[in-house]
Structure formats: structure tokens, C-alpha cells
Amino acid sequence: MHTFVPLLSAGQIERLPPRAREVVEYRKSGLSLNHIQGCPLDCAYCIRHTYGLWDERQPRALMSDAEAVARLVEHPYFRPGLTPIQLFNRATEPFLPAVRPHTFAVLEDLDALGLTNHVLVITRHQLRAEDCERLNRLDSIKLTVLFTYSGIEDRRIEPYPSEVAAASLRLATAVRPRRYRTIFYWRPLVPGLNDTDEHLARAADLSQHADATVFTGLFYRDEIAAYYRDSGLPEPYTATARRKVVPETLERRVLEALADHAEVFRKTSCAVSYVHGLPDYNGHYGVRELCDICPVGQMRRCRDAHQVPSAEQLVALASTVPDAGGLEVLDITDRAAVVAGLPHEQPRYFLQHALRFQIHDLRHPHYAGRHGRAEIGWKEPVTS
């Protein structure tokens, strides 16, 4: 297949940081395909900081689109009709002019395979009417386009204006009839940066142009904090965290601003599942305090689908994939299964999606009412 961005040689790929060479990686919202890497948009908080690719502004291909699709569907974690898929969500912008043909090539290949999996595409770039028409021809995959909007006006932190994503959201949602779904992806919310009453009101208005809204905070990892300091950028927090930071008071203000405007969710998978009329594929229903803002009908779907697995089921399922053979099941409640023995997060996400049930690692405890967020900006934790 023709490559629209430069194709790296084997030697160039070998010199990439180890995580950058990982074309398929499991993340919480899906099995992530990232064979195109590099982005010129220069968002200061970009996740590329964390695996050594921040300085790569020119999109480059590690392999052809056809090879990447094959790598994805042949991956040990992939299950047809079950595994959610994310496209280019950690390495590039899928609707950059040079990347757009690759985005469509992958989507159309997945669709041609007759797959019915969720497919998530996250963008802040300009969509054209012809892009929406082409997306609307995909009739097998469950496609959701998430439009990242922050409203951040400090161009040192976010050079590419949020107004572009807002215009793309309006355009994409106005298509009728429409097979794909749209989500207003309000992120990252950062106190003192984009949380004035005016910011909140503007976002509340935009939320009406989407099938659902998700709000979330900033991944403030060590590498990102170091970049902020080295670049003389205002540091939003005095500490870094493994999870996204959404202070309690900020969440409360966001929910108040959106109370009369949108179907709003705290978690990406909740919104994605809702817009397709399906129960949450991450099984958040067990963490019941997450559901207090959900539509009644969606709560019913998730309740009806909620099944607590046995320890034997978990161990048997873990035995079918790499890196999960050392799984220990420590506790199972209606809320979640607590496990140990997994070397990293990826097999945990596989188990969670395969069972549609929360799987928590003992090393990273979840606290009641915290919604899986970082501890920054919250009261003393109450162990769940």
C-alpha cells in the first residue's frame, strides 16, 4: 500500500525509544494502533513526552497501513466484535493532512473485515464535509469521533486553537442521517488556565453539538512537568501523578455548568458506549458513584449487563494471553476484582474489556468517590 508519510527504515525504527516501537499497545479505552508517529501541533502536555518522541514533529510511518491492520487483528489481545480499538491516539493527530489518508485506509480496512468493534478516533484538527461523508460510509465498525477541546488560550501551552475542534464538532454532528457518533471531549481541564465561568459557559454551549460529553483533566507526569519547568511554563500542580488530575472543586463546577446542557460522563468508555446504545465496556457500573450523572436508560443497560466473574473465570481468561500467567485474584466484589501478579497494565485492560468488569491492580488502589483520578485536589482517601 502507498505510504503517504515517510516510511522509516528498519535501522531508523531500531533507534527509536522502546515504547515508540510498540505499534499496538493496550490502553484503558482500547487496543491502540500507532504506526504513524510524530505531530507538529506542539501541545505542551502531549503524552509523547513520556516515551521519548516529543521532538518528532514530522509524522513518520513504521509500516504500511495494511501491515498495521494485520498486526492489530492478529494481536493476542484482540477479539473480533469485543475489543475496543483506538487509532493514532498517542502518537500523532489523525486528521493532519499527511496522516488523514492513513486514518481512512485503516478505518476502511477494519470496516471491510466486517468487524463490529468500537473504534475511537480522537482529533482536534479540521474536518471537512468530504471527511464526514467518508466516515459515514463505514457501516460495520462502531465508529466514535471524539473532538478534543480545552479552550486554553495560552499559545505556549496549546498553539493549535480549540476553535478548530469546535467547528469540526459542529460540522460532524450536523450530518443527517449519521452512522458514526460524536463526543465533545473536554480536556484537559486545568485550574487557573481554562476554568473561568466564561470557559465553562462556552464549553456547555458546545456540548449541545455532540451526542455526549466527557470531561477530564491533565496527565501531569514527570516528563511533562520537566518540560514545563525547562520551558518556563506556569506549572499547574506542585506534584506529578500517575492518573489524570481533576480536583474535586473543579469537577463540581463542571457538573454544575453542564447540568442543563448535555449527556455528560466522567469516563470515555461510558460515553462511547452510551452513544451506541450499549453498556459500558469498561464495566464501571460496579463503581456506582461514577453513575450518579448518567442517564437513567444507560444505568439500566449497564446494570443488566453487570456480571461478577469468578476467580476461576479470571484465571482461565488470563491464561489465554501473554504476560498474565502470574495473575493472582485477591478479592472479588460487586464493585471490582482486585488482582496482583501482572507485570504491567496491558493484560489488566484486556481482562477488563473481555469481562466488562472492573479489574483493579493491588499496586494502584482505587478510592471511593475519587473516580480513578489522581489524589491531587481531593480530600483524604477512603479505600474502596
Alpha helices in 25-176 (DSSP H): 65-73, 100-112, 129-135, 162-174
pLDDT digits (tens, 9 = 90+) for 183-221: 999 999 999 999 999 999 999 999 999 999 999 999 999
Instruction: Answer left, alpha or beta for residue 38, where phi above 0 means left and psi between -120 and 50 means alpha.
Output: left
Is it the case that residue 379 has pLDDT exceeding 90? no
Q: Which residue has the higher pLDDT, 100 or 383?
A: 100
Task: Give me the percent of the chain exceeding a pLDDT of 70.
Answer: 97
Per-residue cell: 308: 461478577
pLDDT digits (tens, 9 = 90+) for 55-111: 899 999 999 999 999 999 999 999 999 999 999 999 899 999 999 999 999 999 999
For residues 250-260, average pLDDT: 93
Helix (H/G/I), strand (E/B), else coil: 73: helix
Instruction: Please name each of the domains of the chain with its CATH number.
Output: 10-278 (3.20.20.70), 294-384 (no CATH)
79, burial (CB in 10 Å: exposed 0-12, middle 13-18, buried 19+): middle
Residue 225 banded pLDDT, cuts 50, 70, 90: very high
